[in-house]
Amino acid sequence: MSLPDHIAQKIHALRAALREHNYKYYVLAEPSISDLEFDQQLKALQDLEQAYPEAYDPDSPTQKVGGEINKQFATFEHEFPMLSLGNTYSEAELLEFDKRIQKQLGHTNYQYVCELKFDGLSISLHYDNGQLIRAVTRGDGVKGDVVTDNVKTIQSLNSRLQAPYPEKIELRGEVFMHRPAFDRLNMEREEAGEPLYANPRNVASGTLKLQDSAEVAKRPLDIFLYQLLEHKPTINTHYESLQSIRQWGLPCSNNTQLCNSIQAVFDYIKHWDEARKLLTYDIDGVVVKINDYHQREELGYTAKSPRWAIAYKFKTEAACTPLLSIDYQVGRTGAITPVANLQSVFLLGTTVKRASLHNANEIERLDLRVGDYVYVEKGGEIIPKITGVDLSKRSDQSIKVAFITHCPECGTTLIRQAGEAQHYCPNELNCPPQVIGKIQHFIHRKAMDINGLGDETVELLYQAGLLKSIADLYDLSYEQVIQLDRMADKSSSQLIESIQASKQVPYQRVLFGLGIRYVGETVAKKLAATFKHIDALKAASKEALLAVDEIGERIADSIVEYFQSDLHCQMIERLKAAGLCLENTAEAPVQLSDKLQGKIIVISGVFTQFSRDEIKAMVEQHGGKNAGSISAKTHYVVAGENMGPAKLEKAKQLNIPILSEADFLALIQA
């Protein structure tokens, strides 16, 4: 029986809508429909798929169990509602808050606890008889999603309390992601030619809502606990409760301070407004709380927030400037990124002229019009972002932005797959920035590392019609190259020599250089270790790919799709014929001991006995892992001469042992 057209269309529309909702929920953490509506649509699709089995599609939202797929968290009603905090940006209002406390209590005999305001998402943890039995998101404040398995992936969080502990407690805190982990995630996305995540908070929030806990474990989250709720209170002050949290072996910030006066609170704020730059995670202010629980009760609550606490938010510098136009950039994977051109404005020490708009959803969300006065902020992000529009300045002549329908570079009609936020230009073979971008990626230092061939020369060779794909590199001759402008005799022969030398580059780097979507440096290493020949990788089924550590649905699908293209396969055959290294011949690294097993080590500075690379190799030979930047997860920093002061400061602040070259050698030889 063939599938009736109207049913096929209905199934197609439902799948598209559900993918879009999944994306909004899991990735953007901004759902646009209720849970009930989502479940109804999912059920409608399940019913249709059951009635028409010929419509089976393994990629349907009904089939996926992991990642950004079905949404099936149980909900839990909070025993104590999860309230928010009143907040202020001004010292004057903070003084008023203090006066109100004084007036209500009728004396000045009170203390504040000042804490950092972590920029993540709040979570409630339930421990019964010392065991974590439930973790619930804030949700709407009354009830939230049960995300226990995901929370259990947080390495710093013990599921079992250290005794002695009360029989039943609830703890609240903030789940967040450290900046280095966030940067690493984004670096991998950049390497894979993917649009970048906006900030660690969005990623943390999206991650906690993933269905697949194995996927969550790959995105390291952290947590600080800042509130204890007891059924039969045994503790009288907040400060003591934080000490208990620590004694139970749970993560609690060390940057909390007891303050005897509002002046001490101001000093704390002043210190952290500056010192926050040295933290490995983002904070957006300071929370000021009354310490004594009886006084808290006396002060009470408004409908939304406690009267005994307030959040002081750091000012993020924003500027307001007209939006002049929007450009559309085409990445090497064909992804289209809209970029706002702004009238120049000075912000936090630099002139800002452009801001990324990410994708069409973002333009829609902001309801942007050319000519609008837009707010630009730098916040924690490197790239300035547009946070809103000053509607009072909108003119009648402003023009609503209509996203382009054709590639600005090659004119091809853009596509946008259901469930994806990004538009793509599908003209992989002939769209100039895609062709040039792919070759530039291939010659990248971490891929083929072809000396004497920079991004500009790639463009020149492309313009001259000599390079249309990476395989063309190996057909280039000295006679062709010397004819180019700016290419002298020496540089031309050097270039040809470097191209020849790149044939020795190991398989894993060639694989990274191919620029397969989502296959960054780390994934390429893992693939090369498992599929020791490119033909084995080409023949690998999705299941075989999924069996590799750290390879999920998204990467597996992308690899399978890559090798389905004849054009890619022909290009790989040409690379093989040219003599590139397309199989793994490397011996496994020699393991000398497990003295550093599980230890994450950062090497920094210049050493006297060994080179930095030699020390890094020693770390691996003794079972350790090298990391590029210091985070709370770092076990040791090995410091040579000239280690940067910021790194040093960060290591000290996180209490990470700093080893000299001699200390390190003693450690592995002990």
Cβ 88 to ligand IVH, closest distance in Å? 11
Cβ 297 to ligand IVH, closest distance in Å? 14
Cβ proximity to ligand IVH, 285 vs 384, nearer residue: 285
Segment lying near ligand IVH (by CB under 6 A), choices 77-85, 325-333, 386-394, 502-510? 77-85
Cβ 365 to ligand IVH, closest distance in Å? 22
Binding mask 191-230 for ligand IVH (x = CB under 6 A): -----------------------------------xx---
Distances (CA, A) of 23 to 16, 76, 414: 11, 24, 20
Q: How many CB atoms lie within 10 A of CB 522?
A: 15
R_g of the chain, CA atoms, integer Å: 28
Q: How many CA atoms lie within 13 A of 596 on its CB side?
A: 29
Q: Which residue in the list 71, 117, 385, 438 is annotated as catalytic? A: 117
Segment lying near ligand IVH (by CB under 6 A), choices 80-88, 539-547, 595-603, 623-631? 80-88
Q: Which residues are 321's β-sheet partners?
A: 374
Segment lying near ligand IVH (by CB under 6 A), choices 115-123, 181-189, 327-335, 390-398? 115-123
Burial (CB count within 10 angstroms: exposed 0-12, middle 13-18, buried 19+), residue 118: buried
Q: What angle do CA 315, 320, 322 make, to 5 degrees?
A: 160
Q: Which of 117, 201, 358, 378 binds ligand IVH (CB under 6 A)?
A: 117
Active site annotation includes 117: yes
306 interacts with ligand IVH by CB under 6 A: yes
Cβ 117 to ligand IVH, closest distance in Å? 4
Segment lying near ligand IVH (by CB under 6 A), choices 22-30, 101-109, 113-121, 503-511? 113-121
Q: Which of 26, 118, 312, 636 binds ligand IVH (CB under 6 A)?
A: 118
Handedness of CA 277, 279, 281, 287 (dihedral sign): negative
Separation CA 173–CA 224 (nearest Å) = 5
Separation CA 446–CA 187 (nearest Å) = 13
Segment lying near ligand IVH (by CB under 6 A), choices 44-52, 83-91, 180-188, 380-388? 83-91
Cβ proximity to ligand IVH, 68 vs 174, nearer residue: 174
Cβ 486 to ligand IVH, closest distance in Å? 55
Residue 288 in 3-state DSSP?
strand
Q: 247 — phi, psi (to 5°)?
A: -65, -30
Do 445 and 455 touch, CB atoms closer than 8 A?
no
Separation CA 561–CA 517 (nearest Å) = 10
Window 151 to 180, contacts with ligand IVH (CB under 6 A): 174
Cβ proximity to ligand IVH, 117 vs 441, nearer residue: 117
Cβ proximity to ligand IVH, 311 vs 386, nearer residue: 311
Cβ 176 to ligand IVH, closest distance in Å? 9
Cβ proximity to ligand IVH, 26 vs 281, nearer residue: 281
* Nearest one of 402, 400, 405, 403 to 389, comparing CA atoms: 400
Cβ 328 to ligand IVH, closest distance in Å? 37
Cβ 313 to ligand IVH, closest distance in Å? 9
Q: How many CB atoms lie within 10 A of CB 55?
A: 18
> What strand order describes the sheet that includes 87-88?
87-88, 309-313, 283-290, 112-118, 257-259
Separation CA 629–CA 648 (nearest Å) = 11
Separation CA 266–CA 312 (nearest Å) = 10
360 interacts with ligand IVH by CB under 6 A: no
Across 238-258, b (16+ Cβ under 10 Å) vs e yields: bbebbebbeebebbbbebbbe
Separation CA 20–CA 18 (nearest Å) = 5
Q: How many CA atoms lie within 13 A of 579 on its CB side?
A: 8
Separation CA 472–CA 308 (nearest Å) = 69
250 interacts with ligand IVH by CB under 6 A: no
Segment lying near ligand IVH (by CB under 6 A), choices 37-45, 81-89, 259-267, 566-574? 81-89
Cβ proximity to ligand IVH, 308 vs 512, nearer residue: 308
Cβ 306 to ligand IVH, closest distance in Å? 5
Q: 96 — phi, psi (to 5°)?
A: -60, -40
Cβ proximity to ligand IVH, 144 vs 331, nearer residue: 144
Cβ 120 to ligand IVH, closest distance in Å? 7
Handedness of CA 646, 647, 651, 652 (dihedral sign): negative
Q: Which of 20, 115, 292, 553 binds ligand IVH (CB under 6 A)?
A: 115
Cβ proximity to ligand IVH, 127 vs 226, nearer residue: 226
Segment lying near ligand IVH (by CB under 6 A), choices 110-118, 344-352, 438-446, 562-570? 110-118
Cβ proximity to ligand IVH, 117 vs 423, nearer residue: 117
282 interacts with ligand IVH by CB under 6 A: no
Handedness of CA 206, 208, 211, 213 (dihedral sign): positive
291 interacts with ligand IVH by CB under 6 A: no
Cβ proximity to ligand IVH, 25 vs 176, nearer residue: 176
287 interacts with ligand IVH by CB under 6 A: yes
* Nearest one of 177, 123, 118, 121 to 146, comparing CA atoms: 123
Residue 206: both structure tokens together: 């999206």
Cβ 302 to ligand IVH, closest distance in Å? 11
Q: How many CB atoms lie within 10 A of CB 281?
A: 26
Residue 176: both structure tokens together: 């967040």
- Please count the residues of this chain forming the interface with ligand IVH, following the rule CB under 6 A: 13
Q: Which of 32, 50, 72, 84 binds ligand IVH (CB under 6 A)?
A: 84
85 interacts with ligand IVH by CB under 6 A: yes
Cβ 130 to ligand IVH, closest distance in Å? 24
Segment lying near ligand IVH (by CB under 6 A), choices 22-30, 82-90, 363-371, 471-479? 82-90
Cβ proximity to ligand IVH, 11 vs 204, nearer residue: 204
Do 323 and 368 touch, CB atoms closer than 8 A?
yes
Q: Which of 17, 29, 48, 83 binds ligand IVH (CB under 6 A)?
A: 83
Task: Give the residues lining the site for ligand IVH (CB under 6 A).
Answer: 83-85, 115, 117-118, 122, 174, 226-227, 287, 306, 311
Active site residues: 117
